[in-house]
Amino acid sequence: MSLLKIDGICKSFGGLNAVDNISFEVEEGTIHALIGPNGAGKTTLVNMISGIYSIDEGNIFFNDENITNVPTHKLVSKHIMRTFQNLEICENMTVMENVMLGFNIQMSKNLLKCSFQFESILDDEEKYTHIALSHLKRVGLENVADTLCSDLSYGILKKVEIVRALAINPKLLLLDEPVAGLNGTETTEIANIIKEISQEGVTVLLIEHDMKMIMSISDKITVINFGQKLAEGTPQEISTNPKVIQAYLGGGTLHA
Amino acid sequence: MGNKGLFLDRGIVITIIILSVIPFLLQNSFHYEIAIMCMLNAVICIGLNMLVGYTGQISLGHGAFAGLGAYVAVILSTTYEFDPVLSILVACTVLAIIAFFVSKPILKLEGHYLAMGTLAVGIIISIVLNNEDELTGGPDGMGVSEFNILGYVFENDIQWYILSAMFLVFSIWALQNVINSPFGRILRCIRDSETAAKAIGADVPYYKTFVFVISVVIATAAGSLYSYYTGFISPEESGFMRSIELVVMIVFGGLGRIYGAVIGAVIITALPQFLTFLHDYEHMVFGAIIIFVMVVMPKGIVSIFDVLKVSKDKK
């Protein structure tokens, strides 16, 4: 059964059709990759799914529920979470605090209780700090838990963003270029993390330019170009699809 | 575990100690006035810091809100003979409602535009207070009825000192709790990245409005208390310069730092009084000190403590 169904969505900025009548479905529990040349409309598409951009036409269904134009902050309670191409990390907060933000919807934010430090608030804090720490341990970041994010490298912050997304306990995780700008080791680490979370039942929609990673971890690939869907299929099908090779890979064959 | 809610950290204990020592150093009524003014300004700054320093939303209109709130309370208790405490509560409610409706359109603005917007609101309030002289006494101001809590009359400086000190300590304690709670984390997240705040499920406009209203309510409470203490109120206290002064206090002390707001308020309030021996050069030296401190410590006075901490850790 498809978890996310995108049905003919369109978005234009002025005269430019950034996303033009795209439809595809993301099966539950898979890693679905979205690829395309720069400016193809990948990030626009993710911004539309995650409610940051409004949708001009078409519908998006999550678990058969229409989530078209649902504001971003309401998607979290449906367990849809995303990361960003250009980090959206709170730089003046520690790694731990950033991860704790991921528990936002589960924690009580009653101002009165917070200002008088009710016991329930402190207990919650303790409980979720514990969970956050176990998430951080999993990706090997427990040592930097109390470090300010502004003092950390780009590669670590990319991981912090994924951990924060995991804290929400997502059913659908939208990863917008999680390994852009990272070196080989970091890329492998993140690829492994993505594989792991997928095995735990999280459905992943992955945007990436790193072909090696895409080909090795994704179950299905959708290719878009100039805001339109070009092809869809398994990594093998895509790597041999002549349309894709011509439009996106510029001739030659693709190494799986 | 049972009473961990009442846990007081080192900063609060030191503040309480300092506040209890200061009365022994104060020799006359004028000294008390400066001390009380420092403390009540510090309270306003704590609220403003929550908005500007922690949530990242600038306001150049808080002096006007504090003044308007004080006027509402004072008019109720002086002209209409309401109980003073009740008047302050009514003023807080009225200002909360005003702040709510003002914040709806104005907090859609960001950065410099928000500064302009809040500045304009402040100026409008100031004009209203100056012109509605039947209610406010116009530019000459008006006298204020005496202050009492359930019949207990506040008439000497020590009583006012204790009341202000308690208010200040409570504000520091409560803000500290809020900032380290899930609520405060969202505020800081909004400051650093609104997109991230949305992505983790926070309704950003709701939080901005909430904090704006709270900071206005705190300013109202402290502003009214100050008017009751001095026994007089004039529109000058709600003017443009007053709003700027409040922002200078928190920036000077340290944006987004709890004690930054307090230290900034104390220094900016008290320093001019210490400089009076310079006569004509007073303002010049005051300005020079502010410029010097901001150049050397762009993150405010409290950044001294960070430097001290780092050098201590190295040893």
What is the span of the domain harbouring residue A53? 1-79+170-256
| A84 in a structural domain | no
Among residues A111, A139, A169, the one where a domain terminates is A169
Nearest to A122 among B4, B174, B198 (CB): B4
Q: What is the model's pLDDT at position B2?
A: 37
Q: What is the pLDDT of residue A239?
A: 85
pLDDT at B310: 80
A206/A13 Cα distance (integer angstroms):
24
Q: How far apart are CA B264 and CA B269, in angstroms?
A: 8
Q: Which token pair is B202?
A: 């926070």
Q: Over range A67-84, report the average pLDDT.
A: 91
- Residue B202 vs residues A76, A168, B187, B198: alpha-carbon distances, Å: 9, 12, 10, 5
Based on the fold, state whether residues A160 and A136 are members of the same structural domain.
yes
Maximum pairwise Cα distance, chain B: 66
Q: Say whether residue B306 is in contact with chain A using an 8 A CB cutoff.
A: no
Q: What angle do CA B34, B52, B197 make, to 5 degrees?
A: 150
* Local confidence band at A255 (pLDDT 50, 70, 90 cut-offs): low
- Stretch among A93-107, A110-124, A163-177, B44-58 having the lowest mean pLDDT: A110-124
Residues on chain A touching B210 (C-beta within 8 angstroms): 111
Whether A159 and A175 map to the same domain: the answer is no
Does any domain span residue A30?
A: yes
Which residues does A104 contact at the CB level (< 8 Å), separation at least 6?
Answer: A76, B182, B185, B186, B200, B201, B202
Question: ipTM strictly over 0.85?
Answer: yes
- For residue B160, how far is the Cα from the chain centroid? 17
- Here the tokens at position B178 are 């809020």
Residue of A70, A88, A127, A129 best to disrupt the B interface, most CBs of B under 10 A: A88
Q: Which residue shows structure tokens 């992943």?
A: A204
According to the model, what pLDDT value does residue B4 have?
45
Under an 8 A CB cutoff, do A109 and B186 touch? yes
pLDDT computed for residue B315 by the predictor: 65
CATH number reported for the structural domain that contains residue A49 in this entry: 3.40.50.300
Domain-located, residue A2 = yes
pLDDT at B245: 93
Cβ atoms of A204 and A198 closer than 8 Å: yes
The helix/strand/coil state of B35 is: helix
Same domain (yes/no): A156, A231: no
CB contact under 8 Å between B199 and A124, yes or no, is: no
Residues A216 and A198 in one domain: yes
B137 conformational bin, left if phi > 0, alpha if psi -120 to 50, beta if neither: left
Same domain for A193 and A253, yes or no, is: yes
Is B243 in contact with B131 (CB distance < 8 Å)?
no
Q: Are residues A175 and A256 in the same domain?
A: yes
For chain B, say whether A107 makes contact (Cβ under 8 Å): yes
Question: Could you give the CA distance from residue A203 to residue A63 in angstroms, rounded to a whole number?
Answer: 12
A162 found inside a domain? yes
The whole-number pLDDT of residue B313 equals 75
Task: Please check whether residues A156 and A204 belong to one and the same domain.
Answer: no
Helix (H, G, I), strand (E, B) or coil at A105: coil
User: Which residue do the tokens 């403590």 mark?
Assistant: B305
Residues A95 and A74 in one domain: no
Domain membership flag for residue A187:
yes
Give the tens place of pLDDT for each residue, A185-218.
Answer: 999 999 999 999 999 999 999 999 888 899 999 9
**Closest to B260 (Cα-Cα) out of B221, B293, B226:** B293
Give pLDDT < 70 ranges for chain B. 1-8, 315
- pLDDT digits over B94-116, tens only? 999 999 999 999 999 998 999 99
Residues A165, A246, single domain; the answer is no
Global pTM reads 0.91
What token pair was written down for A66? Answer: 């229409």
Total domains in chain A come to 2
Residue A105 banded pLDDT, cuts 50, 70, 90: confident
> Domain check: are A71 and A101 in the same one?
no
Interface touch B177/A115, C-beta < 8 Å: yes
Write the pLDDT tens digit of every residue in B14-62: 999 999 999 999 989 999 999 999 999 999 999 999 999 999 999 999 9
Contact: B177, A52; criterion CB under 8 Å? no
